Amino acid sequence: MSIRKPSALFLAVAVLLAGAASAQDTKSVAAPARKQASQKSQSSTIRVENVSPEIRAIRFSNPPLNFIVPETLASLNEAVKQLSKDERVKVVVVTSDVPGFFINHFDMGEFPDFLSQFADNGKPMWVDLITNLANAPFVTIASIHGRTQGGGDELALAFDLRYASKEKAVFGQPEVGVGLYPGGGSTDHLTRLVGRDRALEILLTGDDYGADTAEKFGWVTRALPEAQLDEFVAKLAARLASFDRTALATTKKQVNAMAFPPESALLASQGEFAKSLSWPGVQPRMQVFGKMYQELGPLKVESNLGHYVGEGNKQLQAQQAAKQ
């Protein structure tokens, strides 16, 4: 599969958007991330901790908005590959160090870099990462205390188990609302987990979903009171860590063989996402959302994204009606 190069038009829009946001909040959006892409530094967005020989924590941090940047994918993929070689590791718990967000969507200013990011084996970095997560001989557990949006949700969907704070976790796939295709695997995962119609509702509306609805739909494994979440995950991790690694890994492998999206589907989805960057609905929406970022600040928009996706489209619709 060939990944089509995003159009020059979008590059301009994306740079505009990234610039607009940076101007308003120097810590935000694309600026700090861009430098880190494809370099390993002390300031990686990914940190691996030894909880015990059998249990590791992967902590993600890219304040203030916890956007995924290209460095995130490279570092996370490297961590997964290294941990897969360590025969002691049975459980990996994934958490966020940034209040309010678990893993947020891709930094929109970095789309071109994501699409030109490849693993050592020549596969698109995202697809290699997701496949490595599926095949890892340890159990991955997402402990979700905050917003989980777009590519961040698609990462969450690639972990084995997902536990969400009833009070704080929020889920959404905003891509369609900004004119894009949700191409990181959510179409495959959600259709399997929540059924055709609920997957369509989630993907087409781009709206926010609380943890209780996510649990009812089967989007997360369980929703738990915020006060109990860490203890629940710690106990679960400890239990699994006392089990036999071969039994855990073989059973995980078999279930994933049945229900994890195959690499061909992940590649096709990424290709569709790349194509969607040139769709006619993207540029006008990027302009509207860039302006909204400037006026309201990225944190306010990102913390109520489902709502603002609706507002942005409403504004665009009003603008277009006024022109006619």
Enumerate binding residues for a second copy (CB under 8 A): 139, 159-162, 175-177, 179-182, 187-188, 191-201, 203-207, 218, 220-222, 236, 239-248, 250-252, 254-256, 258-260, 269, 272, 276, 279-282, 285, 310, 313-314, 316-317
In 41-90, DSSP assigns E strands to 46-50, 55-60
Instruction: Provide the β-strand partners of residue 68.
Output: 106
Of 37 and 223, nearer to a second copy (C-beta) is 223
CB of 254 to a second copy, least distance (A): 5
CB of 235 to a second copy, least distance (A): 9
Q: Give one word for 179, left, alpha or beta, with left for phi > 0 and alpha for psi -120 to 50.
A: left
Q: Which two tokens stand for residue 166?
A: 């009833």
Of 32 and 124, nearer to a second copy (C-beta) is 124
Q: Which two tokens stand for residue 260?
A: 């994890």
Residue 126, C-beta contacts closer than 8 angstroms, at least 6 positions apart:
73, 114, 117, 184, 266, 270
CB of 147 to a second copy, least distance (A): 19
78 a catalytic residue? no
Residue 241, C-beta contacts closer than 8 angstroms, at least 6 positions apart:
52, 54, 55, 90, 91
H or E segment to which residue 98 belongs: none
Q: Which two tokens stand for residue 202?
A: 């989630």
CB of 16 to a second copy, least distance (A): 19
- DSSP conformational letter for 175: G
- Give the Cα separation of 308 and 28 in Å (integer): 18
Q: At what angle do helices 8-24 and 282-296 cross, to 10 degrees?
A: 10
CB of 284 to a second copy, least distance (A): 9
- Give the Cα separation of 248 and 143 in Å (integer): 19
CB of 276 to a second copy, least distance (A): 7
Distance separating the N- and C-terminal Cα atoms of the chain: 41
Of 8 and 258, nearer to a second copy (C-beta) is 258
Of 74 and 193, nearer to a second copy (C-beta) is 193
Of 39 and 228, nearer to a second copy (C-beta) is 228
71 a catalytic residue? no
Amino acid occupying residue 44: S
Catalytic residue among 54, 71, 175, 302: 175
Of 71 and 188, nearer to a second copy (C-beta) is 188
Catalytic residue among 154, 231, 263, 295: 154
CB of 193 to a second copy, least distance (A): 5
SS (H, E, C) 196-246: HHHHHHHHHHCCCEEHHHHHHHCCCCEEECHHHHHHHHHHHHHHHHCCCHH
Of 13 and 74, nearer to a second copy (C-beta) is 13
CA distances from 323 to 183, 185, 298, 309, 319 (A): 32, 37, 28, 21, 6
Active site residues per annotation: 154, 175
